[in-house]
Structure 1
Amino acid sequence: MRLSIPISAFVAAIVGFGGTLAIVIAAATAVGATQIETASWVTTICLAMAIESLWLSWRTKMPVITAWSTPGLA
């Protein structure tokens, strides 16, 4: 396997996660959330994605990875 494939996947994951993370942090700041509350938001979103991925993978018997969606979080 060429090295560019996993590097491309890693970059795409970081950009996708980082872009939405910035929006979630900005939203938390806009409503006056503390740092602990903001961390709780991000943790909850990540855990929800993990649980969803595990459930879908178990249900379909194939690997499924879910991503977070800013409109879906609203």
Structure 2
Amino acid sequence: MHKFDDQDGRNKKDALLGSLMLLAFGLSVLAFLVVIDRPQWFELRPASGVASAISQAASVHGSEGVLNAQP
């Protein structure tokens, strides 16, 4: 009788594990589909105003201003 109860508990555990794995797979597919639709989420942007100003200054002047700077 104890062996039968043990088998029943194992079947429930296996069913629960299978359901959780299927849920995890479904959520990962959903996350993938959402992410490929929103590439702007992965653009690197400056985190502060100072970093934004430095980034904009570097892109406007480029490296030519540094190389041709007059002392």
Place the TM-score, normalised by the shorter chain, in its bin: 0.3 to 0.5
TM-score (norm 1): 0.40
Q: Which has the larger radius of gyration?
A: 2
TM-score (norm 2): 0.41
